[in-house]
Amino acid sequence: MLNPAELIELSEGALGAWTSETTGKGVLRGAVARLFLCSNGLLRTSFTQPRDDARETVREFLDRYPKPAYMSEVEHWRELSGGEIEFTMRRLRTAV
């Protein structure tokens, strides 16, 4: 359980600078995103997006934060009743 001092919630505008280097398109457009900093040093980012946008976000997240360096992965995902995907990505704060 996170305590309030460990929780950072950012709006889409704060995360909107994250863009694809290949397309220049913002991956968080239309997304609901929350960034959590946990006491174990991991950053968790939760998203709610349509399926195709979710796939693109995951690809770009893993391109930006490669698994060998950041231990990045999709930690949890589920399909919501409206067809959107809610998922949580996790990574180390800095590369190892």
pLDDT of residue 29: 47
pLDDT of residue 32: 57
What CATH code is carried by the domain that includes residue 36?
Answer: 3.30.200
Print the domain residue range for 68.
4-92
Q: How many folded domains does the chain comprise?
A: 1
User: What does the DSSP assignment read for the chain?
Assistant: ---GGGEE---HHHHTT-B-TTT--BTTTT-EEEEEE-TTSEEEEEEEE-HHHHHHHHHHHHHHS-HHHH--EEEEEEE-TTS-EEEEEEEESS--
pLDDT of residue 3: 40
Q: Which residues of the chain have pLDDT under 70?
A: 1-39
Question: pTM of the entire structure?
Answer: 0.64
CB 75 within 8 A of CB 90: yes
pLDDT of residue 91: 92
pLDDT of residue 17: 37
